Amino acid sequence: MCGIAGILETGISSESLKAKGQLMMDKLAHRGPDADGLWQSKSCNLVLAHRRLSIQDLTESGQQPMHSASRRYCVVFNGEIYNFRELTVVLNQHGHSFSGHSDTEVLLAAIEEWGVVGAVKRFIGMFAFALWDKEENTLHLCRDRMGEKPLYYGWLNKAFYFCSELKAIEAVAPQGELEIDQSALSDYLRYGYISAPHSIYNHIFKLPPGTFLSLPVREIQNVAQYSPWPDTSPCSPQSYWSVLSTANHGLSNIISDEREALEELDQLLRSTIRRQMIADVKVGMFLSGGVDSSVVTAIAQQEASNNVQTYTIGYSEKDFDESKYAEDIARHLGTKHLTMHVTPSDALQVVPHLCTIYDEPFADSSQIPAYLVSKLAREHVTVCLSGDGGDELFAGYNRYLWTDNIWRKLSVVPRPLRRLLGKALSIPSPGTWDSVYRVAHTLSAGKHASQRLVGLKLQKLAGFIQQDDIEHGYDYLLTYWHDPGQLLNAYTDRSKNDTEVFPETEDFINRVMYLDQVAYLSGDNLAKVDRASMAVSLETRLPLLSHEIVDLSWRLPVSMKVKNNVSKWALRQVLYQYVPHKLIDRPKMGFSVPIDQWLRGDLKEWAHDMLGTINSSGKGILMEKPVWQAWNEHINGLRDHSHRLWTVLMFLSWVHSRS
């Protein structure tokens, strides 16, 4: 895992260009503390920069920037190609030889043999890279299929920049050139993240997952016809793989036999995890105690020659604490397990650094435990496997089933009556509903598993049932500020791209899984994992997001993902081969934090002070009244506005850090 950056700029001296490249590289030191490297082109004003976290081939043979054997190509590469050993065998048969055993050297040989697109389609892995073709005077940028690795790029004052993290561009951008994209800010306040192709800044973009961008020097200098949306213009990113095509292919090739499906899933999980455990450094596992991380850990332990190391985050607030379940599973599997219990004090120490770790506004509060568990693991290992992606691929989120079931029952009720019911449900505070539920659960003698956050769920239900249709209802559940215009002094809404289409299915669960795979997964979940782990120089690997498993997941019917109101049915069947039902079958908790309680407790003073900077640090972008209204209602326990407030707090913290 590494950090990459580069600049192509005319009208600048070679020395000045090198200095800017060095500055960008230094800003990414946390992504690669083991080595660094710069390369400048003699034919044009191009510099490529690299920071290295040594994982494969720890010798100098793995240093970057790296040239191909013919010297035609020069690359800076971030990520892992898990099938590089198989590709090495094939390339040897084609006459290629290798001086080391790094996957970067294999990448270059593959590109020489098959071209950029032909090679990338053969790669199984997570990656972002920049490749300079000296023969064609063309710069190629490429990102992996699901968006596990980040890649920013854009034009400022006729210079072209790219990098792994925005802080590298911020370090060298001309004064006053970086301006906040108001539409991106609106999206952020609505969903808590900014999805590709946009970033928080005008003219700076994220390369969408599954695409490459090829820019001859002449097109880099003339970008008038450029579009950041894939496949919309000759200068736009071009798709080499997409969730849409994968979903459509899978839906037309459904596996109807359960035994066949489960056998194929088990075998594919084994081969994928076996590949991803290959490293020249120590490898560990994140183990939350849920289905996804447990199945990855269980198979990894089967494949390992020694007891694997596992890591868990716990909380003093029992409604959020899954650590005891993770410890039980670790004990059953025989792993070497470590648990870190997070306190509000721990969170308070991390909060001031979040704006640096996530270098554009980012409001998924599980960013805190993601960073802390990464920090814990980095004390012992350099690589960690994680179960991220299982929810989006195998219908694991409660909201999928919850939305489908509730809407089926309530859709027959006229909307005026639904609105009245919703308003009635919203009158009691979440705390009141929680108290009522505790009494009811006690009177029922605990016949059913206890549910957590009942008040918050009823608060969401109250708004959900007032929506026009199920699609608007689902979007309501995902949003923080439902109308960002009420917060922004200069509100600019961005309509959804016209190229956004759905797979050929009428099934609601398939449609929302698709939405989450193309937006939420890379924009929120994977960005969180990458930044949190790389902030402490830890590589995370996500076996469930191998494109081969994504392909297979779309061939499984919804009935193999949700059965008898139980989510992730197929994954569970595989897991039950390694872990008893009793250690797994319980209500889903998710990787969430008690941010609502912390904002009323240890984080209250910090949050209040930060909100007081809306006009100063916030530069007048936000309006005070709706924010303070949400704050007062939250502090007084009338509503749970914790996630709304967190979006504002993270934005203000980000702006303040860049003042």
Statement: residue 449 has pLDDT above 60? no
What's the pLDDT score for residue 164? 98
Statement: residue 169 has pLDDT above 60? yes
Q: Cα–Cα distance between 191 and 651 in angstroms, integer?
A: 13
Bridge partners for 132 per DSSP: 74, 139
Range with lowest mean pLDDT among 58-62, 121-125, 456-460: 456-460
Q: Cα–Cα distance between 346 and 375 in angstroms, integer?
A: 12
How much is the mean pLDDT over the chain?
90
| Catalytic residue selected from 2, 74, 142, 163 | 2
Neighbouring C-alpha atoms within 13 Å toward the C-beta of 387: 27
**Is the dihedral angle over the CA atoms 410, 412, 414, 417 positive or is it negative?**
negative
Q: Cα–Cα distance between 547 and 535 in angstroms, integer?
A: 26
Range with lowest mean pLDDT among 204-208, 321-325, 431-435, 604-608: 431-435
3-class secondary-structure state, position 245: helix
- Residue by residue, DSSP assigns 373-400 as HHHHHHTT-SEEE--TTHHHHHT--HHH
In this prediction, residue 436 has a pLDDT band, given cuts at 50, 70 and 90, of low
For 510, the token pair is 């398939």
Q: What percent of the chain has pLDDT over 90?
A: 70
What's the pLDDT score for residue 638? 86
Q: What percent of the chain has pLDDT over 70?
A: 92
φ, ψ (nearest 5 deg) of residue 505: -155, 145
* Residues contacting residue 552 through CB under 8 Å, at least 6 positions apart: 250, 264, 265, 268
CA–CA–CA angle 227, 230, 235 (5° rounding) = 45
Higher per-residue pLDDT: 407 or 178:
178
3-class secondary-structure state, position 205: strand
Bridge partners for 126 per DSSP: 80
φ, ψ (nearest 5 deg) of residue 27: -70, -15
Higher per-residue pLDDT: 433 or 412:
412
Neighbouring C-alpha atoms within 13 Å toward the C-beta of 101: 10
Virtual CA dihedral for 287, 288, 292, 296, nearest 10 degrees?
Answer: 0
CA–CA–CA angle 44, 211, 38 (5° rounding) = 35
What pLDDT, in 10s, does the model give residues 479-510? 999 889 889 987 666 655 444 578 988 899 99
Contact by Cβ (8 Å): 200, 651: no
The structure tokens 């990414």 sit at 28
Q: Cα–Cα distance between 451 and 307 in angstroms, integer?
A: 34
What pLDDT, in 10s, does the model give residues 514-573? 999 999 999 999 999 999 999 999 999 999 999 999 999 999 999 999 999 899 999 999
What's the pLDDT score for residue 18? 96
What's the pLDDT score for residue 1? 65
Q: Cα–Cα distance between 535 and 32 in angstroms, integer?
A: 10
Spatial CA neighbour of 77 closest among 59, 102, 50: 50
Spatial CA neighbour of 6 closest among 144, 153, 213, 176: 153
Contact by Cβ (8 Å): 82, 276: yes
What's the pLDDT score for residue 476? 86
* Residues contacting residue 511 through CB under 8 Å, at least 6 positions apart: 502, 503, 505
CA–CA–CA angle 145, 386, 451 (5° rounding) = 110
Q: Cα–Cα distance between 91 and 300 in angstroms, integer?
A: 29
Q: Which helix (H) or strand (E) holds 206?
A: strand 204-206
pTM of the model: 0.92
Burial of 566 (0-12, 13-18, 19+ CB in 10 A): exposed
Range with lowest mean pLDDT among 71-75, 291-295, 352-356: 352-356
What pLDDT, in 10s, does the model give residues 587-638? 665 556 889 999 999 999 999 999 999 987 666 799 999 999 999 999 998 8
What's the pLDDT score for residue 497? 47
CA–CA–CA angle 624, 596, 190 (5° rounding) = 50
What pLDDT, in 10s, does the model give residues 293-339? 999 999 999 999 899 999 999 887 777 788 999 999 999 999 999 99
What average pLDDT does this structure show over 456-475? 79
- Residue by residue, DSSP assigns 163-186 as ESSHHHHHHHSPTT---B-HHHHH
- Residue by residue, DSSP assigns 408-472 as HHHTTS-HHHHHHHHHHHHSS-HHHHHHHHHHHHHHTTT-SPPPS-HHHHHHHHHHHTTSSSHHH
**Residue 2 annotated as catalytic:** yes
Statement: residue 91 has pLDDT above 90? yes
What pLDDT, in 10s, does the model give residues 95-151? 999 988 899 999 999 999 999 999 999 999 999 999 999 999 999 999 999 999 999
Higher per-residue pLDDT: 607 or 639:
607
3-class secondary-structure state, position 46: strand
What's the pLDDT score for residue 499? 44
φ, ψ (nearest 5 deg) of residue 453: 55, 40
Range with lowest mean pLDDT among 213-217, 243-247, 385-389, 591-595: 591-595
Distances (CA, A) of 609 to 354, 603, 650: 17, 10, 13
What's the pLDDT score for residue 402? 85
What's the pLDDT score for residue 461? 76
Q: Is the peptide bond prior to 503 cis by the omega test (within 30 degrees of 0)?
A: no
What's the pLDDT score for residue 55? 84
In the chain the domains, ranked by start, together with CATH numbers, are 2-241 (3.60.20.10), 245-312+322-336+367-395+509-586 (3.40.50.620)
Residue 108, Cβ neighbours under 10 Å: how many?
Answer: 25
3-class secondary-structure state, position 307: coil
What pLDDT, in 10s, does the model give residues 237-283? 999 999 999 999 999 999 999 999 999 999 999 999 999 999 888 99
In this prediction, residue 512 has a pLDDT band, given cuts at 50, 70 and 90, of very high
Higher per-residue pLDDT: 451 or 229:
229
